[in-house]
Each structure stands twice: as structure tokens, then as C-alpha cells.
């Protein structure tokens, strides 16, 4: 490929010009500050590489939290025709349906801060975190595990862990259709069986936040948000099961690329035709892993509610502990779109990106039709996070928005920068308490390792993809 050529379209968008063998152009959502940070990594080249894949529909996209990933950039969004396009494990990621949810409460900061240390200790004790963490109390047998993989969040509701109302606060009611446990390897099942109800490691977290600022009062009210409210963010996914599924199918598709005559610009973009036997098998396994992640976050929510009940000696219903929304970050979905006046069914890969349906979209539950879909955008552990809502221009990104701040530094660079520092003490000086399974995780997740999430949110809001509803600030967290 020739040297990549980029031009600025407007203050919020860059265009990667189409150069053979690219089949389309690329659009990167980035303001001037974010654009300057892109020169430090190969993520732009990854957008161009994805644009070379067969059956791509429309532009190849990247959200403002873009950074380098496996094959596809993190923050990457691409749609492929289900009739003649591909599906790629690298376009979903290793942590299938890594996602974030917000649990609202009716509690104010002044009610929670006096007991924050006790509450944090209880959450850390009750919710296993860290590399390889398991939850022996919530393990199920292999037969029932198959039900988890097929039914997702509704399995947790059926078992009495969480209320029925939670389902309407999930994308697709917490279940991806087409899950096929038979397409999940024995090794993936072995890794996933003991990990239901666990947080995991890396950038996964559980965070207590205060609603610091209401930007859109009408939408905030509809979402049940108010000033000084305590909310809980949970970020985790499909754990070892999802990682193994991705690994299994990357290798399988690399071996079959010649069969389908797919010329890969990067081996990490291993893929297969969506309608092929390899494509259907991956879809079945990916959907199963996604459903595991939905169930996993539901069980973590069950444990959070139990912990609040222990500390406050009140039922979770009396503390208003409802699920505001659960967003997928790493997922492929079959969706209908309209492109140049024509309806198409596509497989949309969102890797480090959040679905963002606008107001009036009939695919949303009734409670969100007037507001648009909640979009949860966590920042770094030392600053703030945001709650957004899908807006009218979301059609130009296949109804996708940013998913977080996006890394500036690799984990290795972050550890080097944090050497000799006490990250726990630094956070405490900001009135933020933290507990972590590993000091290494804290070092990798220092605030300086991430972009300023306000720049990311300003870009996506300026482009009209989503609008800002509220800002949150952290007061306590559990890190894996």
C-alpha cells in the first residue's frame, strides 16, 4: 500500500483517503488534540488495513478513543455485508462482549461517604478480582452452563439472581441470538466454568461514582440521575472463555484463508466469509461468549446489591438499585442499515465501541425511545466518566460511539512511568479509595496512561453522534 494520506474534513473528523488495495475510505473521529496523539501508534494504518477486507460496506470507522489493537484498532467500527462480506475475530477482540454497566441508586454522597471504606472492603471481599479469579459459590454444572451460553442475562433472571426489569436495560435484552455451545471448545468451557461472577484483571473494574454535574437535565431525569447521586460502574466481560474462543478461531481462520482466497494485509485480520461454515461456527461461539459476559455482569450486579444490603441494612429495592444500562464494547451484531437509500443486512464489528441508537429508534425499549440509548463512557481512575445518549448523527457511524478514554501509553510504558510511585496514595490524596488484586494493575492503569476522556466525549458530541447527559467522578474502586 502507498503511504497513507489523511485530510481533515471538519473539527471532529479525519478522512483516510482510499488507496488500493483499500475497498473504501476511512473516517476517524478526532479533534486536533487527539489527532496529535495518533502519530505515536499504528492505529491509523490498522483502519486502512480493515478497509481492505472483502464485503466492507460504507466507510471504515474509528472512534476518538482509537488506539492500537489486535488486527482491528480498538475504537474500530466496520460493517460487512452478510451476503458477501466477512466476519473477523480480531474485529471483536479477545475479550468478547467486554462491556460496562451502570447501576443507579437513590443514595446521595453524604449517605455513602461515611461508610465508604467498609463498603469498598465488602465489595472487594465478595466479588473475586484479579488474574484467573474464580467464584466457587456461583459455579454451575456443564449442562446448566450450556443454558448460560444460550440465554445470557435471562438465565440470571430465571435463577432469581436479578429482577426481570434488568433485561430491558441491556442491548438485545442481554442475549445474542444464534449462540451455539457446540462451537465452543472444551478448553474454553473449562476456563469459563469457574469464572461466572468475577471481575477479572487488566482494565476491568468496579467503581463507585458521584454524579458531579448534570449537563442535560431532561434526559438525566429520564435516566434516573440526579446531582450528588451514587452510581456504580462495572467493567468486565467474558473472561477466559471469550479469550479462548477468539484464540481458537483466529488460528482456525488463518488456516482457511487460502480456501476462501482472502488476501490479508495483516495476519491478525484472520477472517472468513460470514456465510461460510467457518463464519457460522465463529458466530455461534462468539454469541455464546457474549451471552456468558451478560450473565457474568448480572451475577456481579447481584453481588454488588448484596454487599450494599449488608452495609446499609436495607433491601436493594429501597436503595433504588436498578440497572440504568449495560453496553457491549467488543461485539459483532447483525443489524439492518440504510445506505444510499438501500436497505442492507450487515454484520457490524464494534471493537472498543458502544452502540448508540438515537431518539425514536424502534429497536430501543419504550423507556429509552424519547431519550436515545444510554452510552456509558468511563474515563481513567483518577478523573471522571460520562453518561451520554445516542443522537441523530449516529446513523453515520452505524449507530456507534466511543467506549472510554482510550490508551495513550502501553502497559509497559505505564509501568515504567509509575516506578517508585505509590498509586494508592496518589489516589487517596484526590479522595479516591482503591483496592486492587495486584499493584501491577494499578501501575498499568495510571491516569496518565489514558487520554483525557473529556476530549473524547467533546469530539463525539461535537460530531452529533451522542450528546452529553452527566459527568461522574470516582470515590472508590476495585481494580483487577
Give me the pLDDT at residue 41, please.
63
How far is 228 from 213, CA to CA, in rounded Å? 8
Cβ neighbours, 10 Å, residue 144: 11
User: Please, are residues 15 and 7 in contact by the beta-carbon 8 Å criterion?
Assistant: yes
DSSP strand pairing (26-29 vs 56-67): parallel
CA of 330: how far to CAs of 238, 315, 327, 419, in Å?
Answer: 10, 33, 10, 31
| Block residue for cell numbers 488476501 | 263
From the list 67, 204, 349, 403, the catalytic residue is: 403
d(C-alpha 78, C-alpha 107), whole Å: 40
Give yes or no: 403 in active site.
yes
Residues of the chain with pLDDT under 50: none
pLDDT at position 167: 97
Helical ranges in 351-401 per DSSP H: none
Alpha helical stretches, state H, 102-238:
109-112, 116-126, 142-151, 153-158, 186-192, 217-223
Q: Establish if 1 belongs to a structural domain.
A: no
Is residue 21 reached through a cis peptide bond, with omega within 30 degrees of 0 on the bond before it? yes
Q: What residues contact residue 171 under an 8 Å CB cut-off, 6+ apart? A: 326, 327, 328, 355
* Structural domain includes residue 51: yes
| Residue 401, beta-bridge partner list | 354
Give the pLDDT of residue 340: 84
* Cell numbers given for 155: 438465565
R_g of the chain, CA atoms, integer Å: 21
Domain count, the chain: 1
| Assigned domain for 359 exists | yes
Q: How far apart are CA 219 and CA 99, in angstroms?
A: 22
Instruction: Give the integer Cα–Cα distance in Å for 407 and 84.
Output: 34
From residue 229, give the alpha-carbon distance in Å to each of 18, 48, 463, 468: 47, 43, 29, 17
Residue 1 has what pLDDT?
62
Residue 141, Cβ density class (10 Å: 0-12 exposed, 13-18 middle, ≥19 buried): exposed
Q: Cell 464494534 maps to which residue?
A: 350
Q: What is the largest CA-CA distance in the chain?
A: 65
* Residue 235, pLDDT score: 98
Distances (CA, A) of 416 to 407, 420, 440, 443, 444: 15, 9, 11, 8, 9
Report how far residue 455's alpha carbon sits from residue 213's, in angstroms, rounded to the nearest whole number. Answer: 17
CB atoms within 10 A of CB 81: 18
Residue 293 lies in a domain: yes
> Distances in Å between the alpha carbon of 432 and those of 383, 422, 427?
10, 13, 5
What region does 228 belong to: left with phi over 0, alpha with psi -120 to 50, or beta? left
In DSSP terms, 210 is beta-bridged to 230, 473
Q: What CATH number has the domain bearing residue 368?
A: 3.90.1860.10
Q: Provide the domain limits for residue 321.
A: 6-479
Amino acid at each position: 500500500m502507498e503511504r497513507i494520506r489523511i485530510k481533515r474534513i471538519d473539527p471532529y473528523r479525519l478522512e483516510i483517503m482510499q488507496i488500493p488495495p483499500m475497498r473504501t475510505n476511512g473516517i476517524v473521529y478526532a479533534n486536533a488534540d487527539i489527532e496529535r496523539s495518533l502519530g505515536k501508534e499504528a492505529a491509523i494504518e490498522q483502519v486502512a488495513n480493515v478497509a481492505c477486507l472483502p464485503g466492507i460496506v460504507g466507510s471504515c470507522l474509528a472512534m476518538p478513543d482509537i488506539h492500537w489493537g489486535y488486527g482491528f484498532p480498538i475504537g474500530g467500527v466496520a460493517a460487512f455485508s452478510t451476503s458477501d462480506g466477512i466476519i473477523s475475530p480480531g474485529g471483536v477482540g479477545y475479550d468478547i462482549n467486554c462491556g460496562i454497566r451502570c447501576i443507579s441508586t437513590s443514595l446521595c454522597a453524604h449517605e455513602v461517604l461515611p461508610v465508604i471504606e467498609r463498603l469498598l472492603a465488602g465489595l472487594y471481599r465478595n466479588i473475586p478480582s484479579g488474574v484467573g479469579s474464580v467464584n466457587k459459590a456461583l459455579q454451575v454444572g456443564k449442562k446448566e452452563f450450556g443454558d448460560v451460553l444460550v440465554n445470557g442475562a435471562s438465565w440470571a433472571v430465571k435463577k432469581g439472581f436479578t429482577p426481570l426489569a434488568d433485561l430491558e436495560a441491556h442491548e438485545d435484552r442481554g442475549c445474542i441470538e444464534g449462540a451455539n455451545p457446540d462451537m465452543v471448545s472444551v478448553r474454553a468451557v473449562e476456563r469459563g466454568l469457574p469464572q461466572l461472577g468475577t471481575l477479572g484483571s487488566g482494565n476491568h473494574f468496579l467503581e463507585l461514582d458521584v454524579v458531579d454535574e448534570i449537563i442535560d437535565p431532561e434526559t438525566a431525569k429520564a435516566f434516573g440521575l440526579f446531582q450528588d447521586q451514587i452510581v456504580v460502574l462495572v467493567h468486565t466481560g467474558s473472561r477466559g472463555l471469550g479469550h479462548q474462543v477468539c484464540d481458537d478461531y483466529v488460528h482456525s481462520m488463518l488456516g482457511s484463508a487460502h480456501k476462501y482466497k482472502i488476501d490479508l494485509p495483516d495476519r491478525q485480520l484472520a477472517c472468513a466469509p460470514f456465510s461460510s461454515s467457518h463464519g457460522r461456527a465463529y458466530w455461534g461461539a462468539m454469541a455464546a461468549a457474549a451471552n456468558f459476559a451478560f450473565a457474568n455482569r448480572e451475577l456481579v450486579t447481584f453481588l454488588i446489591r448484596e454487599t450494599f444490603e449488608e452495609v446499609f441494612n436495607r433491601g436493594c429495592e429501597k436503595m433504588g438499585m436498578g440497572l440504568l444500562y449495560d453496553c457491549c464494547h467488543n461485539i459483532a451484531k447483525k443489524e439492518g442499515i440504510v445506505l444510499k437509500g438501500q436497505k442492507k443486512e450487515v454484520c457490524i464489528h464494534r471493537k472498543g465501541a458502544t452502540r448508540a441508537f438515537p431518539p425514536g429508534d424502534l429497536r430501543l425499549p419504550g423507556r429509552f425511545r424519547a431519550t436515545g440509548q444510554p452510552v456509558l463512557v468511563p474515563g481513567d481512575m483518577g478523573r471522571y466518566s460520562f453518561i451520554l445518549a445516542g443522537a441523530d448523527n449516529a446513523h453515520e457511524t452505524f449507530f456507534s460511539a466511543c467506549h472510554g478514554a482510550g490508551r495513550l501509553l502501553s502497559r509497559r510504558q505505564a509501568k515504567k512511568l509509575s516506578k517508585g510511585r505509590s498509586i494508592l496514595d496518589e489516589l487517596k490524596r484526590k479522595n479516591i479509595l482503591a483496592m486492587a488484586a495486584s499493584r501491577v494493575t494499578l501501575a498499568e492503569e495510571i491516569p496518565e496512561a489514558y487520554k483525557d476522556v473529556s476530549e473524547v466525549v467533546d469530539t463525539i458530541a461535537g460530531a452529533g453522534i451522542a450528546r452529553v447527559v452527566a459527568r461522574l467522578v470516582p470515590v472508590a474502586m476495585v481494580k483487577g
